[in-house]
């Protein structure tokens, strides 16, 4: 079968999913429909509806778009069946019921931003950087009942530099994801796919999860070592951002987000979370085995700034702590 005859339904919502869809469209593949999340209410009263970036791209290309509230809704399922997809591709969407992923004759495959079976879950890129990994990657796999557990089709490994934050790794994986999606589709077309059950890769390996990240997930624990805090910060930078509370005497604590730091290993007898600064050029926070040198930060209600600008505009009190 020629790629122009293969009927593809694409499912995705965020920016990460746009690259693969764009590559399919520009590559001349036959995308007969795009499934994405319903438009999101925005503004003070929710009166403005914001379409996903995937929808925006799909509309610009004249592609048919479906936005179901519920994936088991019969009206949606009828529309999906009417598209007569041979293959479905999922990139950063939501968990599909079997009635959806089992519909096309060639199956449904997912592009996941980790080297499965590691980092199954919603935030694999963040957790790989937060955990200080030196390597990550992308995986295509066929869907089955349990989330992120289907048979692996292909993988690409990607190094993580010690200076990379999650945005850098995200952009790198997004571009490589487009390559891998096309490679996977071509292999399915050619009948050359050879899958590997994930169970073959889990023996004697400690699996690390990648659960959804919430506000409390992003709070820094200063009782951990310098490297842990450094990796934690870059794994959440620039979004949603690691945070702590800046405390001075009886004043109410102020939220402080950290975006860029540097590791300073040295012995000291200060309590973790103690602030050490000259008030002009540096802002160090004590951890158990040294200091975290803060380079870029944001006070609640203010914009992100370099530490020198922060120190010029914020008067530091004595005996300041973060917690």
pLDDT, average across residues 50-71 = 97
User: Is 253 annotated as belonging to a binding site?
Assistant: no
Rounded to 5 degrees, φ, ψ at 311 are: -70, -30
Strand 135-142: give its sheet, edge to edge: 65-66, 30-35, 7-12, 87-91, 108-112, 135-142, 152-159
CATH 3.20.20.70 fits 7-201, yes or no: no
Q: What is the pLDDT of residues 279-308, one digit of tens each?
A: 999 999 999 999 999 999 999 999 999 999
| Element spanning 47, H or E | none
CA angle 224, 216, 48 (to 5 degrees): 145
| 80 carries a ligand binding annotation | no
Looking at 3.10.25.10, 1.10.540.10, 3.90.1150.110, 3.40.50.300, the CATH number of the domain 216-322 comes to 3.10.25.10
CATH 3.10.25.10 domain residues, the chain: 216-322
Give residue 316's pLDDT. Answer: 83
Cβ neighbours around 269 below 10 Å, total: 6
97 annotated to bind ligand: no
Would the annotation count 115 as a binding residue? Answer: yes
* 49 pLDDT above the threshold of 80: yes
pLDDT number for residue 145: 83
Residues spanned by CATH 3.40.50.170 within the chain?
7-201
pLDDT digits (tens, 9 = 90+) for 90-139: 999 999 999 999 999 999 999 999 999 999 999 999 999 999 999 999 99
pLDDT band at 204 (very low <50, low <70, confident <90, very high): confident
């Amino acid at each position: 079968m020629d790629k122009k005859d293969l009927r593809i339904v694409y499912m995705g919502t965020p920016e990460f999913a746009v690259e693969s869809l764009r590559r399919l469209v520009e590559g001349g593949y036959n995308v007969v429909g795009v499934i994405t999340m319903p438009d999101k209410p925005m503004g003070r009263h929710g009166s403005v509806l914001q379409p996903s970036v995937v929808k925006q791209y799909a509309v610009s290309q004249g592609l048919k778009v479906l936005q179901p509230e519920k994936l088991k809704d019969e009206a949606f399922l009828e529309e999906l069946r009417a598209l007569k997809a041979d293959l479905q591709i999922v990139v950063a969407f939501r968990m599909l019921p079997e009635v959806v992923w089992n519909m096309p004759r060639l199956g449904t495959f997912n592009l996941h931003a980790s080297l499965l079976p590691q980092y199954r879950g919603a935030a694999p890129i963040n957790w790989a950087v937060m955990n200080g990994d030196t390597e990550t990657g992308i995986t295509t796999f066929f869907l089955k009942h349990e989330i992120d557990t289907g048979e692996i089709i292909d993988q690409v490994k990607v190094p993580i530099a010690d200076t990379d934050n999650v945005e850098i790794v995200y952009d790198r994986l997004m571009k490589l994801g487009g390559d891998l999606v096309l490679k996977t589709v071509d292999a399915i077309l050619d009948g050359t796919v050879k899958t590997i059950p994930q169970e073959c890769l889990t023996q004697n390996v400690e699996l690390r999860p990648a659960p959804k990240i919430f506000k409390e997930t992003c709070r820094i624990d200063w009782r951990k070592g310098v490297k842990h805090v450094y990796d934690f910060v870059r794994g959440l930078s620039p979004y949603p951002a690691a945070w702590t509370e800046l405390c001075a005497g009886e004043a109410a604590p102020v939220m402080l987000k950290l975006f860029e730091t540097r590791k300073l290993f040295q012995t000291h007898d200060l309590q973790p979370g103690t602030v050490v600064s000259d008030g002009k050029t540096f802002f160090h926070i004590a951890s158990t085995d040294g200091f975290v040198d803060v380079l870029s930060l944001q006070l609640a209600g203010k914009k992100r700034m370099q530490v020198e600008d922060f120190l010029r505009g914020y008067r530091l009190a004595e005996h300041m702590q973060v917690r």
